Chain A
């Protein structure tokens, strides 16, 4: 068990490799109750959300969700979030490590007529991820989850537990995320494990979540991005909708060139016995070119992979990673490293 943002969380239940492979080939069950949930309601809720996030929520129909960044005035990323339009407003899912910062930031930028409610402590979140995930959940609910589109959600019962059932995830696989009250969450966990046992569902911890999301090219707040990074540098230009009207950070984003940001976020592939780690230097010849933000061993691909920031002028050069004093050649590869059919809208 590790302490993460005030929650005791298992790094792994069995083996990180087994859990990773299960999600890629069958299914894994994650307890993500540490994630924060903030509900914004009231007559001006949509205008407030449009002001807070860089993506455009105006086209969301109830139940639909999108991924967005929240920027500060300098277009630095305050957090990356999932925004649902729900019956009474918007539900914003935030990183546990950023919950307090986000709450203060949002509270400071509410328009009159918007109410903010932190529902994090009254919301549990279980995720079933993998090619068998939807079929497993379908056995426990009358809702047509098989017909649910990616980035859509419905409310309904799963194993008798009232949930928001969402076709979303953070693994690069198909799957569902189930938001429910904390009290029945353990019973839901047990029901899911029992229903999925025949299809190879196993519990998966924070470790597998990290190796899965890295393979899928999904950014991790605090490692791949923070308040000093703009969304263009982070490769998230597709989430920025300047045409929707003004929002926090828009004026700075107007000054930047989406195709030529101050830093370049790249994928690097290394050899089977070369494992890059967070914080290692990226070199172009002998010249420091940047830094690994996330790195590790890809269980799916069988070699080391990393995401890194590099100086744009050096991004096209032959790159290497300084692994304990040795310059190990690294090949630039497009993100995601693997999969990616379900990682965005």
Chain B
């Protein structure tokens, strides 16, 4: 498990790792475990504007389809294209190889993001 001290979480199970005004977004290990095998992801294109708290995509697993919500506001600069062929990376490496999108021009939204301990406490782990 990577060092998650730089990760912040939403109550809807996404994570964000900020680096200045850029950020990387994914879903939590807890979320991928609950979803089971990820079958495919519906992700935005480069250039799409994400708004903190708003839906930006969907993830379909063996169990169910779930919406994805943006942890911060920003513009998509990169999409993890490897997930089209190997969506299981979201399961095997949710915090590293299984990242979903990278954002630029990131600004904080209205969301109260949680650190790992607070997130896990809220997620009931």
Contact = CB atoms under 8 A, between A and B. Distances in A.
Interface of A: 11-12, 15-17, 207, 211, 272-273, 275, 277, 296-297, 324
Interface of A, secondary structure class, is loop
Interface of B: 36-37, 39-40, 42, 60, 62, 64-65, 88, 91
B40 A17 contact: no
A275 B60 contact: yes
Contacts of B42: 273
A207 B64 contact: no
Contact of B88 (A12, A17, A272, A275): A17
B39 A297 contact: yes
A16 B37 CA distance: 6
A15 B37 contact: yes
B36 A207 contact: yes
Nearest to A273: B40
Contact of A16 (B36, B60, B64, B65): B36
B49 to A, nearest CB: 23
Contact of A207 (B60, B62, B88): B62
A324 B65 CA distance: 10
Contacts of B88: 15, 17
A11 B62 CA distance: 11
A296 B60 CA distance: 10
A296 B40 CA distance: 13
Contact of B62 (A273, A297, A324): A297
B115 to A, nearest CB: 29
